[in-house]
Amino acid sequence: MRPKSDLPQGTLDLLILKIVALGPVHGYAITQRLQQVSRDVVQVPQGSLYPALHRLESRGLLAADWKETETGREAKFYRLTRKGRAQLESETASWQRLASAVGLILRLSEEGE
């Protein structure tokens, strides 16, 4: 098992937005999804997930409704607002720019050796 790495600052919001963009989902499912998708590489402390959700909600990027789960229990389902979708797009774009820039730099230094 590879070592787990911490999330870079600010990326948690982006990941949450991305997961919520796939369809309404509750907090616990988000933690599960994060672990699955990242193949356990990304470790999200559950304690910081909920404050992040609430912060995104109060900024108007997420909206929430109480709905029944498949098991018949009431849970708080988050979904993306229009503002949230715009935010997701712009952040994704800038993340990709940054990632490719970092990748370029890393390749450069390898060639230099």
Partner 1 sequence: MSRREDDLEKEVRFHLEQHIADLIAQGHDPAEARRLARIELGGEEQVKEACREVRSTRWLEDFSRDVRYALRTLRQKPGFAAVALMTLALGTGATTAMFTLIDGVLLRPFPYRDPHRLVLLREKTDWATAFGDLWSFSYPNYLDCKREVRALDLTAWTVMRGTISAPGAAAYANGVAVSAELFPMLGVKLALGRAFLPAEDRSGAAPVAILSFETWQRHFGGDAAAIGAPFVFDGRTYTVVGVTPAGFRFDDDEPALYTPIGQADSRRMQNREGHGFQVWARLRAGATIEQARTELAVVGKRLAEQYPKSNHGRTFIAEPLRPDVGDARETLWLLLGAVGLVLLIACTNVASLLLARAVSRERELAMRVALGASRSRLVRQCLTESAVLAIGGGIAGALLAWAVVRPFVTFWPGGLPRAEQVHLDWRVMLFALALSLASGLLFGIAPALRAPSRELEPALRAASRSVAGGSRRLHGIFVASEIALAVVLLVSAGMLARTMLRLSSLDPGVNIHNVLTARTALSPATLANPDRTRAAWDDLLDRARRVPGVEAIAMVDTVPMREGSNQIGYALSAAPVPEDKQPMVLANSVTPDYLKVTGIPLRSGRFLNEQDRKGTQSVAVIDEVMAREAFPGEDPVGKHIWIGIGQDPVTVVGVLGHVRQWGLAGDDQSKVRAQLYYPFAQVPDELVRRWSTLMSIAVRTSGDPLLLVEPLRREIRGATGDQVLYEVRTLEQLAQSSLARQRFLLLLFGAFAGLALLLACVGIYGVLA
Q: Is the CB of 37 or the CB of 92 nearer to partner 1?
A: 37
Question: Whole-angstrom Cα distance, residue 34 to residue 10?
Answer: 15
Question: Whole-angstrom Cα distance, residue 4 to residue 9?
Answer: 16
The CB-of-106 to partner 1 minimum distance in angstroms stands at 33
Closest CA to 51 of 83, 79, 13, 23: 13
How many residues touch partner 1 (CB under 8 A)?
A: 19
The distance in angstroms from the start CA to the end CA of the chain is: 30
**Residue 47 in the binding site for partner 1 (CB under 8 A):** yes
Q: Is the CB of 23 or the CB of 47 nearer to partner 1?
A: 47
Three-class SS state of 95: helix
**Residue 66 in the binding site for partner 1 (CB under 8 A):** yes
The CB-of-35 to partner 1 minimum distance in angstroms stands at 11
Residues of this chain that interact with partner 1 (CB under 8 A) are 26-28, 31, 45-48, 50-51, 54-55, 58-59, 66, 73-76
